[in-house]
Structure 1
């Protein structure tokens, strides 16, 4: 009897394994229109326009040269009143099933983002085969369609180039999963990298992701410039590899007067204390950097000069942080540094009682910054004769 039971169990396990190995609802790759990137814009009639890049392993005939030139992707745009209408119109033009499982980037055009991103993206972002590990970006000064239709000099498919730029980590990167979570959170602000085209030519275009887009209540509130974006990366613990420069000396015939550094270590800590039921926030930020260039006659190998350089960088950083805070509190009313999250952790009862009024309370919150910067590796083992003492 025992032997029969073991035989029966073995048969059941073998049957289950056979079932697991089967792909009953799978599609052959030749039957899929694989979307690598998608974007959303608002057009003049108020409708949404979606643009997709669809990759092909064999290439698509292009419109030029009698259709003989082969393109590695197809760019397709459609307008509609809602996402279902748009995707249905696109599907009617394709011999393969629309598939979002390999999408690497989603881009919102600036006008679309300012209009509000809720209405048309649900199907594209919440589809069962939609990829949550791709990146969300906002187009800076242009449309998403312009970005996705611009060929890139180093990659055959522009969406792949954009994805690789985000993975390099030198700009703010927001994954689809992080983006959706921040939209639903009371404690985290929605921020994405902002992309623009800075160079065009016969060989292709060059992108830059050197701004950050800040959202409030699912609409674009404004942009952070490159220096401001780096401060946000610092608070998020992602400053490593970022560069910064200052005008240390007046420009002359021989020298531009600039000094540049690259950060290789950073840390940030936020402390919150309550006074008369008002949070007071103290932000401590520490970083270490090495010198990248010194286009001045000043010898940074001398300790006093190096300390003066560190002081000037700290002044610039403090001014940048205070400018961000002024805009975020007074103009955007956006908790850009996610102070709410720290208040929740450090003072949970206070947060429970006030979270519904946080956006009204936030502009009144006093914030102080304490910056410590150490510049190492000045790169000069012997000072040239022209250096100032």
Structure 2
């Protein structure tokens, strides 16, 4: 038998036993689910919502403008996610597909009630990824958040993801970090926060919620051991939290300097938490923070060509940061009593034997622990000028 004949026989044999994707669904038969929302209705049943792409409108409009929305928001109530999803599917002409889901919203009341008994599907289903950006909607519902448009992005669900990334936050690791903290004794879980507002903070600030047009970042949500929302940190405090946790990628800080002010864009931010335990179980933590960056603005008469002036400015930035971050840590200790920074985890890792006697009363011990902050900043680049060009030669401090 020739070599060509053998090849033909093998090829035909393979064709016979090769099967296609028997359960394949065409893209035209799927409803692409980009964002999910969790709320409670009046009966405390789950209200499950989703933002779905409208493909025919995604390509036709320029810049996100236009009368028709490029997305559809749909919701239904049920005892759990799959019960709600079954009710939603009855309204859809296409099969729901969550493989492209990018973001999840928790309404404030849903988060306050406790989320432990409602999120199993987010880690059990093979379709959805644990690497998801998750937000609590401050003073609002997830359904309201999903209904908002965003002129710069289409679909609008991607706007919060991009804003979170630009702010130097945790991005798609938010839910993963939440799960890790929820299963740990030495740290309490947190999630980023959004609120409904406007691009303009001034003129439209006093208007009713019906005029609110976008979602914007609004800080950090703090959860207790039972995974119930108990309070918030603002945007600045959230950046402090991320820096202490070692999760902050960049940050701009401003400080008063010699009858003016200056701003520094920090990168290469690092953190180290050192626990100290005395014989009588008195706890002390030293938070060591480092960073370096470029000077963005110098509204003072300091000539930054001079090394001594750079060092003087560095000390002012360090003093400012030290005061602000210590204030944020104290707020978490005294106002909420929850260790969101993972101080307990540092003890568990470095002193596992002592942690066994501390973990059961950790919330009380954390509230009374002594915390000191050490900051070491480096100004690596000062820009194109030494002194500000707005000062005369006689006014510049060498």
TM-score (norm 1): 0.82
Considering fraction of residues, name the structure with more strand. Answer: 1
Aligned to 1:208: 216
Matching of residue 50 in structure 1 with residue 48 in structure 2: yes
Aligned to 1:38: 36
Deviations for 1:179-230, whole angstroms, at most 9, x for unmatched residues?
22322222333122212244269xx945432512222121122222222222
SS of the residue corresponding to residue 314 of structure 1 reads helix
Aligned to 1:222: 231
| Partner residue of 1:275 out of 278, 281, 289 | 278
344-353 vs 73-82, greater mean Cα deviation: 73-82
| Partner residue of 1:234 out of 218, 236, 243 | 243
Question: 2: CA distance between counterparts of 1:228 and 1:149?
Answer: 28
SS of the residue corresponding to residue 25 of structure 1 reads coil
Question: 1: CA distance between counterparts of 2:73 and 2:157?
Answer: 11
Question: 1: CA distance between counterparts of 2:331 and 2:40?
Answer: 26
Deviations for 1:226-269, whole angstroms, at most 9, x for unmatched residues?
2222222222333333212223355xxxxxx3321111222221
Matching of residue 347 in structure 1 with residue 351 in structure 2: yes
| Partner residue of 1:96 out of 94, 119, 138 | 94
Aligned to 1:376: 380
Deviations for 1:12-67, whole angstroms, at most 9, x for unmatched residues?
x979x956xx434343322322210011223445343222101132249xxxxxxx
Q: 1:319 to 1:221 in 2, by over 3 A?
A: farther
Q: State the aligned residue count.
A: 363
Deviations for 1:1-21, whole angstroms, at most 9, x for unmatched residues?
xxxxxxxxx99x979x956xx
Q: 1:342 to 1:152 in 2, by over 3 A?
A: same
CA contact (8 A) 2:244 2:287 kept: no
Q: 1:18 to 1:352 in 2, by over 3 A?
A: farther
Q: 1:356 to 1:248 in 2, by over 3 A?
A: same
Aligned-pair Cα RMSD in Å? 3.1
Structure 2: gaps (5+ residues): 1-9, 59-65, 201-211
Deviations for 1:69-95, whole angstroms, at most 9, x for unmatched residues?
653221112234433432222111112
CA contact (8 A) 1:214 1:222 kept: yes
SS of the residue corresponding to residue 343 of structure 1 reads helix
CA contact (8 A) 1:227 1:320 kept: no
Q: 1:74 to 1:225 in 2, by over 3 A?
A: same
| Partner residue of 1:262 out of 248, 260, 265 | 265
Aligned to 1:113: 111
CA contact (8 A) 2:266 2:292 kept: yes
Structure 1: gaps (5+ residues): 1-9, 61-67, 251-256
Matching of residue 192 in structure 1 with residue 191 in structure 2: yes
SS of the residue corresponding to residue 120 of structure 2 reads helix
Question: 1: CA distance between counterparts of 2:369 and 2:381?
Answer: 39
Question: 1: CA distance between counterparts of 2:289 and 2:75?
Answer: 45
Deviations for 1:360-384, whole angstroms, at most 9, x for unmatched residues?
3222222221111122322243533
Alignment of 1:1-389 (within 5 A): 18=18, 22-59=20-57, 70-124=68-122, 126-168=124-166, 170-173=168-171, 174-199=173-198, 205-217=213-225, 218-248=227-257, 257-276=260-279, 277-383=281-387, 384=389, 385-386=391-392, 387-389=395-397
Q: 1:210 to 1:308 in 2, by over 3 A?
A: farther
Deviation at 1:157, TM superposition (A): 0.8
Q: 1:170 to 1:163 in 2, by over 3 A?
A: same
Deviation at 1:335, TM superposition (A): 1.0
Question: 2: CA distance between counterparts of 1:297 and 1:199?
Answer: 37
Q: 1:307 to 1:83 in 2, by over 3 A?
A: same
Question: 1: CA distance between counterparts of 2:25 and 2:76?
Answer: 25
CA contact (8 A) 2:198 2:214 kept: yes
Deviation at 1:169, TM superposition (A): 5.5
